Every structure is written in C-alpha cells, then in structure tokens.
C-alpha cells in the first residue's frame, strides 16, 4: 500500500506535461521491478504487475471536457484546456498495489478551477473517466476511489467508484446525492476552519497485465470499502507524531 502526493500546474498542456514528466523522472528512485519506461500520461504503455503507471488528473468545469458534445481526453488539443481555468496533476502508482494519492488543499482550491475532475491516460485508446464533482460553492468531496481497468496490459477504462454515505462519520461530514461524503467549505482549513480538506484518491487496478496475470487490487479495495485509506494513514501519522508534540 503506497501513499503519494501530486503537483498542480497547467499552462500549455503539452509543455507542462513534458516538464512534469521530466521532474517525475528525476524524483523517482531506480526500481528494478518497474519495467515501464513510458512516463507521459498522453502516451500508450503495456504494463505488468509492479510497473509504475503514469496517469493524470485534470481539474476544470464539467463543460470544459467536451468538444461538439463528446467527452475527449485532456490530452486532446481540441479541448484547449490551457486557455481555460484548468489545473493538472500527474501520478505514477505501482500496478496492482492499492495506492493513496493526495493533493494538498492549502495550495489548491478546486472551486477556483471549475470544481470537476477527470482522470486520463493513453493516446490510441485515450482512456478517461467521467467528470466527477470535487467541490462547489458549499461543499468539498475529499475522498475518491479510482479504478484502472487493463486488458493484456493496455489501459481500457478508468472509472470512479463510490460506496455510498456509510463512511460519513463525524459532525464535519455531510452526504451529497446519497453517494458522496463531503465537508462544508466553511469547515476546511483553507477557509479558516479546522478540518483537513486535502483531496485523497484511492487507486486500484483490475483486469490483466501483459503477461495475462490478474490484477486484483480492486477486489481488495471492495473488501476494505468500509474504511477510508486516508483515515488509516492519518491515524498512523498522528500515532507517530502525537507523543512528540510536547517536546517542541
């Protein structure tokens, strides 16, 4: 199980992706298990278990992801996202490991960039998720589950999954559309409140890799659906740091 954090920036889509890929390649430590040398989210890759796999998250308005009434990949220049209020994050989780990816809300307000998010990867197949609401003028959804579906190592589909509002525990959470746990914006730290409203994306894999081995992490996530991975990591962090608070 891995945890990562994404960087946010968008100017010219092609230039920014190239810059972010270069930074990602410099930051990654050599890993003998990772045989995937494709780092751009706008290129095709055939993966095997334990490879790294790069995908992107684009933030903009829901309408920004369509062209002539058809949803396109953010890699498609016809969307011209660089000329709109948009932001971009790149991640590279390990294939078939449950990963928790985070975006720091102290430096990023999704409402200012349209409030919706699309996951994307690939060129020929141009897989992309449906746009999903992240934040509006009243609430912010902080926890998401993204499933990457492969066939013989090639990405076929990306979709968001939700487990309803059973996990909405605590006075700070509200249920939206009977599907999403959200935090009122007034309670978020970046709005003067006390609640950590960082975005967390649980990433899991399904299907088969290029060696026809099954990718099973999605089934593990379903079995753990009553838990929040972000909560697990936060509790672990607090258990480590809290005993030392009085020393500083």
What letters, b where the CB count within 10 A reaches 16 and e where it falls short, cover 168-203?
A: beeebbeebeeebbbbbbebbebbeeebbbbbbbbb
Q: What is the rounded CA–CA span in Å between residue 62 and residue 11? A: 19
* Structure confidence at residue 163 (pLDDT): 77
* Structure confidence at residue 11 (pLDDT): 42
Domain containing 178: what range? 2-237
| Total number of domains in the chain | 1
Helix, strand, or coil (residue 67): strand
Alpha helices in the chain (DSSP H): 13-27, 217-223, 229-241
* Structure confidence at residue 7 (pLDDT): 41
* Structure confidence at residue 243 (pLDDT): 41
Phi-psi region of 46 (alpha: psi -120 to 50; beta: other; left: phi over 0): beta
Give ∠ CA 153-67-93 in degrees, rounded to 5. Answer: 30
**199 closest CA partner among 84, 93, 59:** 59
pTM exceeding 0.75: yes
User: Residue 6 domain-assigned?
Assistant: yes
User: Residue 248 domain-assigned?
Assistant: no
Q: Please, which residues bridge with residue 201 across strands?
A: 101, 144
Could you count the other beta carbons within 10 Å of the beta carbon of residue 219?
13
Q: What is the rounded CA–CA span in Å between residue 54 and residue 94? A: 9
User: Residue 59 domain-assigned?
Assistant: yes
Phi-psi region of 127 (alpha: psi -120 to 50; beta: other; left: phi over 0): beta
Q: What is the rounded CA–CA span in Å between residue 207 and residue 101? A: 21
User: Residue 24 domain-assigned?
Assistant: yes
Q: What is the pLDDT along the chain (248 residues), one digit of tens a residue?
A: 444 444 443 344 555 555 555 555 545 555 557 899 999 999 999 999 999 999 999 999 999 999 999 999 999 999 989 888 899 999 999 999 989 999 998 888 899 999 999 999 999 989 999 999 999 999 999 989 999 999 999 999 999 998 788 777 777 889 988 888 899 999 999 889 999 899 999 999 999 999 999 999 988 877 666 455 545 544 444 443 344 344 33
* Structure confidence at residue 9 (pLDDT): 37
* Structure confidence at residue 132 (pLDDT): 96
User: Residue 243 domain-assigned?
Assistant: no
Q: Which residues contact 139 (CB under 8 A, 6 or more apart)?
A: 174, 176, 182, 183, 184, 185
User: Residue 247 domain-assigned?
Assistant: no
**96 closest CA partner among 216, 239, 237, 14:** 216
User: Residue 242 domain-assigned?
Assistant: no
Could you count the other beta carbons within 10 Å of the beta carbon of residue 213?
12
User: Residue 130 domain-assigned?
Assistant: yes
């Amino acid at each position: 199980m891995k945890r990562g954090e994404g960087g946010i920036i968008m100017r010219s889509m092609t230039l920014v992706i190239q810059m972010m890929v270069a930074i990602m390649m410099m930051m990654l430590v050599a890993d003998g298990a990772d045989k995937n040398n494709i780092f751009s989210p706008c290129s095709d890759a055939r993966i095997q278990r334990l490879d790294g796999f790069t995908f992107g998250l684009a933030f903009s308005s829901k309408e920004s992801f369509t062209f002539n009434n058809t949803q396109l990949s953010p890699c498609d220049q016809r969307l011209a996202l660089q000329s709109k209020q948009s932001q971009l994050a790149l991640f590279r989780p390990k294939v078939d490991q449950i990963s928790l990816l985070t975006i720091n809300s102290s430096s990023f307000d999704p409402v200012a960039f349209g409030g919706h998010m699309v996951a994307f990867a690939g060129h020929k197949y141009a897989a992309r998720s449906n746009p999903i609401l992240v934040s509006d003028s009243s609430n912010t959804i902080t926890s998401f589950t993204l499933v990457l579906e492969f066939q013989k190592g090639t990405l076929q589909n990306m979709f968001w999954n939700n487990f309803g509002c059973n996990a909405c525990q605590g006075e700070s959470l509200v249920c939206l559309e009977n599907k999403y746990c959200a935090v009122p914006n007034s309670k978020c730290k970046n709005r003067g409140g006390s609640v950590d409203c960082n975005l967390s994306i649980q990433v899991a894999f399904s299907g088969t890799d290029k060696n026809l081995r099954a990718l099973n992490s999605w089934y593990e996530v379903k079995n753990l659906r009553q838990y929040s991975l972000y909560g697990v990591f936060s509790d672990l962090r607090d258990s480590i740091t809290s005993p030392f608070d009085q020393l500083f």
